[in-house]
Structure 1
């Protein structure tokens, strides 16, 4: 299987047709990154028992009668093309299993990892998420602090920076909306409850005081606070003594609060949250390019760097489950492009860096699926509601993960040519397409 895979990746022109010998000989392929490159860092303990380990469809997939597609990440497939061997996880563990250094394995990528921040996606639930800079340091510690120059290095990251910033933005926007909504609800309710009293100003003060006192009580809730306001209103001269007569006022105040909260959240996103998130993505790209330059200064001679695919076209960005709308999709696109543009600018014209434009290729795949042999570019092959998917909250902010997805928990039908395994991760076929792109560019550059 591996031999045919290598031939399938490298035998695509640019060399003597009578020879499949690479132009450049590599001692190893060393990979740094996140779940897109992760070769099975978490294939231990319960994850392994559930048939998982890769953030894709684990195991051999393929429709009956068709050529099976083995489950490897693109980085493993590139390793197979360059050295004849798929790469393996250099460090394994997580989710309650201690970290183990694996001899002779050179893929340091881990699902959830960020560029410099150790608090990656899933870290709170037990994932390792060692950042890329730490992954590089771990490799150097095992290799006398240098690169030999005989490695082909692959670097990929940035998606978890986007997920982290999306989470930060969502939390802050929600807080801004809640604050504005709460203030609006209180002010509107007091005004409406007091408007028919003999002395509206005095009634408003009494109702407001009653709400404040109720809020200070142990175990107070919105219901108890509103009840206190209604009772205070019913005791004011001129007002109705029937508590039910104030239901319309409560509904009106609730509607006003919702409108104000939504507006405040939207204004926060537009004026503060989105600019901050985009700036953070630019910073992350600068940090990643700095790490690449550090590798070169320490002896790396051939470094492949991939940019982000178009995250705005993933199920993650398009799903209504995540509350996504067109503005959300546009923000995700802006964050993705900001990262990619800075990364490209920082690494432009460096002779020891091969920059791979995954973003453009990904958009081509989604725009014309049949050209790439894809049958579905919007849905997810994995059934993330499968009862044994105990790690459904790991790997992707706000959605399920394919970490323990395998041939036993796919959706019905032939999913072998789906692009997405879950809301952001490729299927094995998607990884194969990415590996073919990288291998082609390696050949064109004379690096393979």
Structure 2
């Protein structure tokens, strides 16, 4: 099968584009001459915001395989680990972009002169509390996660402008998806916890004499609340607290609570009620709220793009979210039967629905009519291209589209990701990869592409720009 060839280096990309964009008079320069390439977004476009302090010392700084891959490995790619936005920059102006602001992980944020890539790992569209940032604005103990709207404001504050001479790249939304799923899980857990408490109280109070039931209800409910707020609380500890409270109240008031003797049955019934309530919330109210949240984020991103156009930008390339539902992270949520058939893939399907909601809303908001983008915008469907890669890996010279190239349990990766053995590729490099040749893997970690994956995306975006007459 004919393999899909990618560009060997960023500058080879620039040469190829020049060859495609030049005219018949022998001029091989790009069709549009840009003064700069300005990028906004998240970890997929981040050119090294966190290449500081302990992260830099660990050989990291970007969310992929950092540094130069070993040229000795069969099929290895001995080029720097540029991401797609940097490669597009090389194609447009002949040099890769660099992080406009650096900091975080204990290092105060600073402006880097001459750099115009404002994307930051963990960033959302509007919410400053991005992935790994529980505080929001001004957080430097971990990732900065300044949202896209702030990145744009920072670009203007740093002296930038939308004069029409710059190529702007925008890719965001995946972290909003993670935020929605995190909230969904928390809210579903809360719904399950409320059902657990209600079931426990109802069953235990029924074992007390009618005259004591109201007081017992308050006593048992109080014990449940006291236990539930503890950081060490578990369903088992809450059940134990409730049963103990029922027995204690009975002893204190001189009666026998007959339900206490059936504690095991009560626990089973309450647990089932909690699971049912949590699942119901996930499938109904929670899912609907998450879908709305993704639509709101996509609309906000579209409005930011339109604002740039209104301010004078003439060339904004907007890339939608790749298929997050096919990442190792999402695929790991699928539950299989013993025969290998799928038993439950509801979580993966929810991720797909949220991704599609964002992408559809974003594209629709950036169109003046179906299939016709707002003037000044090129919309790139990375989602569709990503699915083609997954369905036909050989065509793209991909050797693995399921596993991760980085050894996420290596000491350096665990340390740099706050003890999380399933952390990101932020400090992944040639020294902590899994065994074997990973040069043509698609995924560096559970959600981020390898340098090869970035090249595939860069070439796809570059092709769209050439077709639009922008390169």
User: 1:355-374 residue pairs with structure 2 within 5 A?
Assistant: 355-374=379-398
1:11-34 residue CA offsets vs partner (Å, 9 max, x unmatched): 774656976421111111110111
In structure 1, runs of 5+ residues without a counterpart are 195-199
Residue of structure 1 equivalent to 2:182: 167
Q: Is 1:392 the counterpart of 2:402 in the alignment?
A: no
Q: Is 1:183 the counterpart of 2:198 in the alignment?
A: yes
User: 1:367-446 residue pairs with structure 2 within 5 A?
Assistant: 367-389=391-413, 390-392=415-417, 399-446=422-469
1:218-263 residue CA offsets vs partner (Å, 9 max, x unmatched): 99964354235357779867979xx9xx3xx222222212211111
> For residues 93 and 150 of structure 2, what CA distance do their matches in structure 1 show?
25
In structure 2, do the counterparts of structure 1 residues 256 and 99 end up closer, same or farther at CA, with 3 Å as the change threshold? same
> For residues 148 and 92 of structure 1, what CA distance do their matches in structure 2 show?
25
Where 2:412 maps in the other structure, the secondary structure is coil
Residue of structure 2 equivalent to 1:327: 346
> For residues 211 and 459 of structure 2, what CA distance do their matches in structure 1 show?
76
Where 1:388 maps in the other structure, the secondary structure is helix
Residue of structure 1 equivalent to 2:306: 293
Cα RMSD after superposing both structures? 3.1
> For residues 273 and 331 of structure 1, what CA distance do their matches in structure 2 show?
11
> For residues 335 and 117 of structure 2, what CA distance do their matches in structure 1 show?
32
In structure 2, do the counterparts of structure 1 residues 5 and 250 end up closer, same or farther at CA, with 3 Å as the change threshold? farther
In structure 2, do the counterparts of structure 1 residues 186 and 23 end up closer, same or farther at CA, with 3 Å as the change threshold? same
> Does the 8 A contact of 1:188 with 1:253 survive in 2?
yes
Q: Is 1:122 the counterpart of 2:145 in the alignment?
A: no
Question: Which stretches of structure 1, 4 residues or longer, exceed 6 Å deviation after superposition?
Answer: 202-207, 216-220, 231-235, 237-240, 321-324
In structure 2, do the counterparts of structure 1 residues 173 and 9 end up closer, same or farther at CA, with 3 Å as the change threshold? farther
Q: CA deviation at 1:351?
A: 2.2
Q: Is 1:149 the counterpart of 2:174 in the alignment?
A: no
Q: CA deviation at 1:68?
A: 2.4
Residue of structure 2 equivalent to 1:272: 285
Q: CA deviation at 1:361?
A: 0.3
Within the candidate set 53, 58, 63, 1:50 is matched to 58
In structure 2, do the counterparts of structure 1 residues 228 and 118 end up closer, same or farther at CA, with 3 Å as the change threshold? closer
> For residues 102 and 189 of structure 2, what CA distance do their matches in structure 1 show?
37
Residue of structure 1 equivalent to 2:3: none
> For residues 25 and 171 of structure 1, what CA distance do their matches in structure 2 show?
49
Where 1:408 maps in the other structure, the secondary structure is helix
1:110-142 residue CA offsets vs partner (Å, 9 max, x unmatched): 001111221111123521111111111111123
In structure 2, runs of 5+ residues without a counterpart are 1-7, 135-140, 337-342, 368-372
TM-score of the pair, normalised by structure 1: 0.87
> Does the 8 A contact of 1:91 with 1:102 survive in 2?
yes
> Does the 8 A contact of 1:73 with 1:428 survive in 2?
yes
- Number of aligned residues: 433
Residue of structure 2 equivalent to 1:197: none
1:326-362 residue CA offsets vs partner (Å, 9 max, x unmatched): 1111211111111111111111231210000001001
User: 218-227 or 370-379: which moved more?
Assistant: 218-227
> Does the 8 A contact of 1:69 with 1:428 survive in 2?
no
TM-score of the pair, normalised by structure 2: 0.83
In structure 2, do the counterparts of structure 1 residues 212 and 110 end up closer, same or farther at CA, with 3 Å as the change threshold? closer
User: 228-237 or 87-96: which moved more?
Assistant: 228-237
1:60-111 residue CA offsets vs partner (Å, 9 max, x unmatched): 1256143424311100010111111000000000111111111111101000
> Does the 8 A contact of 1:6 with 1:84 survive in 2?
no
> Does the 8 A contact of 1:39 with 1:89 survive in 2?
yes
Residue of structure 1 equivalent to 2:12: 5
Where 1:379 maps in the other structure, the secondary structure is strand
Residue of structure 2 equivalent to 1:96: 106
> For residues 213 and 326 of structure 1, what CA distance do their matches in structure 2 show?
38
> For residues 319 and 217 of structure 1, what CA distance do their matches in structure 2 show?
35
1:412-441 residue CA offsets vs partner (Å, 9 max, x unmatched): 222111111111111111101000100111
User: 1:334-345 residue pairs with structure 2 within 5 A?
Assistant: 334-345=353-364
> For residues 155 and 256 of structure 2, what CA distance do their matches in structure 1 show?
78
